Amino acid sequence: YGTQTVNGKGHLTIGGVDTVDLAHTYGTPLVVYDIALFRERAQAFKETFNNVGVRAQVAYASKAFSSIAIYEIANQEGLSLDVVSGGELHTAVVAGFPRERIHFHGNNKSFTELQYAFDEKIGCIVIDNFSEIALVKEIAESRQEKMNVLIRVTPGVEASTHDYITTGQEDSKFGFDLKNGQTDKAFRQLHDHPYIKLLGMHCHIGSQIFETDAFRLAAEALMEKMIVWRDDYEFVCEVLNLGGGFGIRYTEEDQPLNPSAYVEEMAEVVLSLTRTHNYPLPEIWIEPGRSLVGDAGTSLYTVGSMKEVPGVRTYIAVDGGMSDNIRPALYGAKYTAVTANRMDESHEKQVTIAGKCCESGDKLIEEAHLVEPAEGDIIAMFCTGAYGYSMASNYNRLPKPAVVFCENGHHQLVVRRETYEDVVRLDIPLQSVEQLEK
């Protein structure tokens, strides 16, 4: 992947940096990002739109990995930012991310979160439901401030991916149903409000999707509705946001297209429908998360204990697990790994990489092929850059790992490792009865 190679010592390098050195310098578990790869992915999306002559915004869906430093890189690359909570918005504010390129998502944004969005004058709120319409109107009217919005719809497209991460089907907690009149009702409540500027529509059909057809169908469904609004209300959508969800390759079994292929497909649908219906070409917005950071991230672990179940399998246990990557336990997600300190030896030993959490299901990879394992080996698990650190927890009170960015032979710490002090920082010791009665 990306700038990974093997150096003269037989060590895996990322961004020109020896991963074994990184493990020694920063400790493990460690999440290492290949920043050149992130930049390359971002530019590829932007170039694809340029090449087909469509104005676009590529918003980084930052739930995949949110930190001040990645927001700074996203800004350097001219990306927009999709945030889904006050916490992500705050991270963007601290990172100095240009507010006009921040898009706010979520199916239950609170009054406080929406106020924060108005305070910061962000680029747009993606409205998810009728309660939110009322809240946004109330805030906009009381402040007499205009806010850009998109209407999020569920287009009724079922993309084949894990049930937990499919979102475009009708029975979804997200968005307005496109087919039963909800979307039209939302449109009528929003399109001619003095303090609301309706930019257009949004949909996101799911995540880790490989087939282009699902994106095509979604684009068609939304365009159809846009044309109806133009004909019935003389309202023209300036923006069509088709979400993220482009699949990436975790293992040999995954056969994704080049991410740009999905974008080309969407653009083609929009270009052809706008031409046939004489509709002004909208800006297309997309929101890739995984396809920007997924394969840019690699997790490093150190091998500790090992256990042989005779005739069945060899377990090797590493110093992290479901606490820093819950995807295998939660979705049955598959990954590949290597022995980073012995890349020059043959990876023929089949082992199960177990985490250190007190839970049998805490296995990171069922069937990994590594070098004959030894305590102290550094394991590199690939493609952990999306929804790894961002879904990490302190289960079993494990401190969260550190995160390092590598590029052109440089490395820098961008999220420090949690300490035991951090682990107890929110705890408040019991007070005595006397103290409580005071």
Q: Residues within the annotated binding site? A: 245, 287-290, 327, 331, 359, 387
Query: Measured from the CB atom, is 118 or 331 closer to ligand LLP?
Result: 331
Phi, psi of 347, deg, nearest 5: -90, 75
Q: Which two tokens stand for residue 302?
A: 């150190």
Q: Is 358 a catalytic residue?
A: yes
Rounded Cα–Cα distance for residues 359 and 15 (Å): 35
State the nearest-atom distance from the C-beta of 424 to ligand LLP, in Å: 28
Indicate the pairing of strand 56-61 with strand 30-34.
unpaired
Contact status, residue 74 vs residue 102, Cβ threshold 8 Å: no
Contact status, residue 35 vs residue 15, Cβ threshold 8 Å: yes
State the nearest-atom distance from the C-beta of 199 to ligand LLP, in Å: 16
Kind and range of the H or E run holding 350: strand 349-354
State the nearest-atom distance from the C-beta of 251 to ligand LLP, in Å: 14
State the nearest-atom distance from the C-beta of 127 to ligand LLP, in Å: 12
The residues near 365 (Cβ < 8 Å, ≥ 6 apart) are 328, 334, 335, 336, 337, 352, 353, 381
Instruction: Check residue 209 and report its DSSP letter.
Output: B
State the nearest-atom distance from the C-beta of 154 to ligand LLP, in Å: 11
DSSP string of 73-95? HHHHTT-EEEE-SHHHHHHHHHT
The residues near 281 (Cβ < 8 Å, ≥ 6 apart) are 54, 55, 270, 271, 274
Which positions lie near ligand LLP, rule CB under 6 A? Answer: 61, 64, 82, 105, 165, 167, 204, 207-208, 243-246, 287-291, 327, 331, 386-387
Query: Measured from the CB atom, is 295 or 377 closer to ligand LLP?
Result: 295
Query: Measured from the CB atom, is 373 or 388 closer to ligand LLP?
Result: 388
Contact status, residue 395 vs residue 325, Cβ threshold 8 Å: no
Q: Which two tokens stand for residue 221?
A: 């469904």
Sign of the four-CA dihedral 160, 166, 172, 176: negative
Query: Measured from the CB atom, is 151 or 343 closer to ligand LLP?
Result: 151
Task: Say which of 203, 237, 357, 358 is annotated catalytic.
Answer: 358
Contact status, residue 351 vs residue 315, Cβ threshold 8 Å: yes
Q: Which two tokens stand for residue 344?
A: 């020059």
Catalytic residue IDs: 358
